[in-house]
Chains A and B, each alone.
Chain A
Amino acid sequence: MRRAAFTAAVLTALALPAVAGGDGDGAARAAFLQREFDAAKGQKFYLVLDPAARALELRVIGVTLKRFPLERALIGVSRLRGGGTPQWPALGFTLSSEVDEPDRPVITPPTAGQELASVEPSSGAASAAEDDASGDGSAAPQPASLAESLSSFRERTYAGIPPVYRLHFEPDLDVVIRGEPPAQDFRSRVRRLWFQFEEGWTGFRHWMSGQPISTRVTLFMTPDDARRLYLALDPSIPLLVEPLGAGRPSGG
């Protein structure tokens, strides 16, 4: 028993410095853990950007719910601000951009003489009346068009979500999500060049109008991931930057 305790103490003493790493690493890791703990204990969603692993993760209570692999993760400082080596303005940020509410279909209950409720704006759609919660158990299933109409409404909603968008986080961070296929062909390279051109002009216009120009992070992912991420955004969702070399805690 005493021997086991001694072995455990020795192993812990050996392991702890390895976890802490160098002074800088230790400080960054501690700052990150503290921020993650603060975000996690509120039981709200938060995002963790791991530039080294090229991934953005949606987490809650320390659990990764969805991992968005990144083709590339870039950080940039406006040349109008002097350019230079980019530096993270902070390790933790809060979304300040507004998050749009999705459009919702409206179910109109049936009036006398009608058998089914109708769903607007899906034309010709019936209601969600086929749902388990609406009919009695012995009722025959409603036509597939009911579900299909709602489903297609949902798909249309997703189709309306842009795969490329910009989010502003405080303090001083713009995150541009670029959901697009990897730039492998000429067309996609031209598209990226055009985007840089537009970005430059927008930056210039902001500078001319005296608007602040934030440090910018551009994350390249698949269009589906970009849309899914958009739907996962909560107002004021925190974004944490995982410092290099900081591994996940092994718990959970």
Chain B
Amino acid sequence: MSQPIDDAPGSPVSVPATPVPAPSTRLPSGPPPALRRRPGSRRARALLWALAGFLGVLAGGAGIALIVAYVGGYAYAPAASAALPALPAAPSAKALAKLEKQLAALQPKGTFIVVDVVEQKVFLRRGDQVLREAVCSAGTGAILRDPKSGKEWIFDTPRGVRKVKEKKKDPVWTKPDWAFVEEGEPLPKKWSERIDEATLGAYALYLGDGYMIHGTLYQRYLGRPVTHGCIRLGDDDLEAVYQASPVGTPVLLF
């Protein structure tokens, strides 16, 4: 389409022919107005794909997590259906009866006292039969520290098996050191200064180590753990327990 150029001066200069576009019959370029939002639509589609992918990964992950949880879990059955381990040959009926007798011999024969130090309850029992149930007050569980000597006391009601070692009507309390330390008072020099005749109520059952079941002046605190380890009972319950429990009566505290 280009014509030869003559370099000689004065010679006519030929200009490269510019292609002239043919008259077009196409529609105007660009999408029609209705499709103008196409780039946004692509983004939405991409987002949808991403979301679908994310959900797929999530579902897959959850599936794997469930499989792992299943595989790592336990195949449960009712405990009553579980097999027992291999056992030695069955003993004779006589040997079995002897074992039962031995175990029964450990159990209290008559009335005994059960103290639930958490729920603040005292039960007077004979075998499985509850003869009387009473609300009590047991130890606070608090710690008292003597700033002078550094000595510590823990006001727990002891758990375990004890026995009524002694019983007293109108008991007198000999205050131990902690009673003075707690009050910020000096320890008395005379023994008589430790004597307290009014605090323990009408009866006391001594369980050893200074612990007692006794009465209280502060009956409204029954049911709350407010003592230094003794078990306090209301007047009527105390009398009933006192009357029903001879010396040697087992006291089971838990």
Contacts and interface: CB of A to CB of B under 8 A. Distances in A.
Interface of A: 16-17, 19-20, 22-31, 33-34, 36-37, 40-41, 43-45, 49, 51-52, 54, 58, 60-66, 72-80, 83-91, 102, 104-112, 114, 117, 119, 127-138, 141, 144, 146-148, 150-151, 153-154, 157-158, 196-205, 207, 216-218, 228, 231-232, 243-244, 249-252
A150 B85 contact: no
30 contacts: A16-B96, A22-B90, A34-B99, A37-B106, A43-B161, A60-B254, A75-B79, A76-B74, A79-B73, A86-B83, A87-B83, A104-B141, A105-B140, A106-B144, A107-B144, A107-B145, A111-B184, A127-B182, A128-B226, A133-B178, A137-B196, A137-B197, A144-B220, A146-B226, A147-B221, A150-B224, A198-B69, A200-B68, A202-B72, A207-B72
Nearest to B75: A83
B41 interface: no
A79 B72 contact: yes
A20 B160 CA distance: 32
Interface stretch (B25-33, B50-58, B113-121, B237-245): B113-121
Nearest to B101: A251
A40 B81 CA distance: 27
A61 B106 CA distance: 6
B191 interface: no
A117 B175 CA distance: 17
Contact of B119 (A22, A54, A228): A228
A33 B78 contact: no
B92 to A, nearest CB: 8
Contacts of B85: 87-91
A106 B103 contact: no
Given A43-B160, A137-B217, A199-B74, A251 B100 contact: yes
B161 A61 contact: yes
A24 B160 CA distance: 35
Contacts of A196: 69, 73
Contacts of B161: 43, 60-61
Contacts, number: 322
Contact of A128 (B71, B89, B182): B182
B175 A133 contact: yes
Interface residues of B, number: 92
A252 B108 CA distance: 6
B167 interface: no
A87 B84 CA distance: 6
A73 B108 contact: no
Contact of A109 (B118, B119, B144): B144
Nearest to B197: A137
B107 A61 contact: yes
Nearest to A67: B128
Nearest to B128: A64
B74 A62 contact: no
Nearest to B146: A109
Given A19-B97, A37-B99, A65-B254, A88 B140 contact: no
A252 B104 contact: yes
A249 B80 CA distance: 20
Residue of B73, B91, B94, B102 ringed by the most chain A CB atoms within 10 A: B73
A12 to B, nearest CB: 8
Contacts of B254: 45, 58, 60, 65-66, 232
Contacts of A151: 224-226
Contact of A132 (B96, B224, B227): B227
B1 interface: no
Given A74-B76, A105-B143, A114 B184 contact: yes
